[in-house]
Amino acid sequence: MGFFKDFKEDFNDAVNELVPGGEDTAAKEEVMVNTLDGDIDVESELNKLDGLLEQVSKKVDEPAKTTETTSTQEQSVEKKSFFSETKKETKMEASKGMDVMGNASEAKNVASDENAVITGGMKITGNVESIGSIEVQGEIVGDVTCNGKLVIAGKVTGNSSSAEFFADAAKIEGEVVTTGTAKIGVGSVIIGNITATSAVIAGAVKGDIDVNGPVVVDTSAVVMGNIKSRSVQINNGAVIEGFCSQSYSDVDVNSVFAI
């Protein structure tokens, strides 16, 4: 009995340290052991010890499970918070990306100081693009696009787009579009429509002229097409075969004839 008694005392001390309230249970078990008379039933004592071990194991595991559950909940909250912040950052970056792209698009339309020259002995078959200005003395078979000034003194078969346009004794077959002034010099021949903010015509144009601002048709000009502008000045000697309309004028024509 001395062996089991010592073992029980050591075990009860361990239980008291690990589990609150374990002291009462151990005391009860000790009373039951001390009141036994006669020989000790080893198997019965072992079963009692097993029961105590199960109780201790359950009580120790419960706080661990609670801690584990709390930790899992905290991790879940942290994950939600992380993904929420990630979405916000992604939206902000996307918004910034849109701004950057918008600024890049605006910068793309700004003309640089570059000036490309297509010399008289050069012929290019294909489209030509530049962020600066282009001067064509030779021949281009294809569209020409530049952010700066386009000067054509040679021949172009294709459409053109620029910030400013000047034809100097040029031969052009294609549409001319510019966001600035279009100047058609003496000796130039253009077969195609012209779109600009203002225009001075001293050469020959076969096509419609659409200008938001003023148009000056000089003495040497020959225009075979309609002219639509804010105002038009036709110098003596100019030839126009078509209609002239000041549709961009500030004057309300209908109100003038109201009776």
Count of the separate structural domains present in the chain: 2
Q: In the structure, what pLDDT confidence band is assigned to residue 171 with cuts at 50, 70 and 90?
A: very high
- Tell me, yes or no, whether 144 and 224 share the same domain: yes
The values of phi and psi at residue 185, to 5°, are: -75, 170
What are residue 211's phi and psi, to 5 degrees?
Answer: -130, 130
Statement to judge: residues 199 and 219 lie in one domain: yes
What is the rounded average pLDDT of the residues 54-67?
Answer: 55
Claim to verify: residue 145 and residue 245 sit in the same structural domain? yes
Same domain, 47 and 136: no
Query: Do 48 and 128 sit in the same domain of this protein?
Result: no
CA distances 187 to 27, 167, 176, Å, are: 123, 9, 17
Residue that is last in its domain, among 42, 77, 106: 106
pLDDT at 7: 57
Ramachandran area for residue 38 (φ above 0: left; ψ -120 to 50: alpha; else beta):
left
Nearest-angstrom CA–CA distance, 235 and 68: 95
The answer to whether residue 133 scores a pLDDT higher than 80 is yes
The pLDDT score that the predictor gives to residue 113 is 87
Q: Provide the angle, in degrees to the nearest 10, between the axes of the packed helices 42-108 and 22-34.
A: 160
Q: Kindly state whether residues 169 and 215 are assigned to the same domain.
A: yes
- Coil, strand or helix at 29: helix
Could you tell me if 145 and 50 lie in one domain? no
Comparing 27 with 11, the larger pLDDT belongs to 11
Query: What would the mean pLDDT of 97-102 be, rounded to a whole number?
Result: 44
Helix axis angle for 2-18 and 22-34, nearest 10°, is: 170
Could you tell me the CA-to-CA distances from 129 to 150, 159, 178 in Å, in that order?
Answer: 11, 12, 14
In the numeric block, which tokens belong to residue 66?
């609670």
pLDDT confidence of residue 98: 45
Domain range enclosing 250: 115-256
| Tokens 């309230």 found at | 21
Question: Are 217 and 159 found together in one domain?
Answer: yes
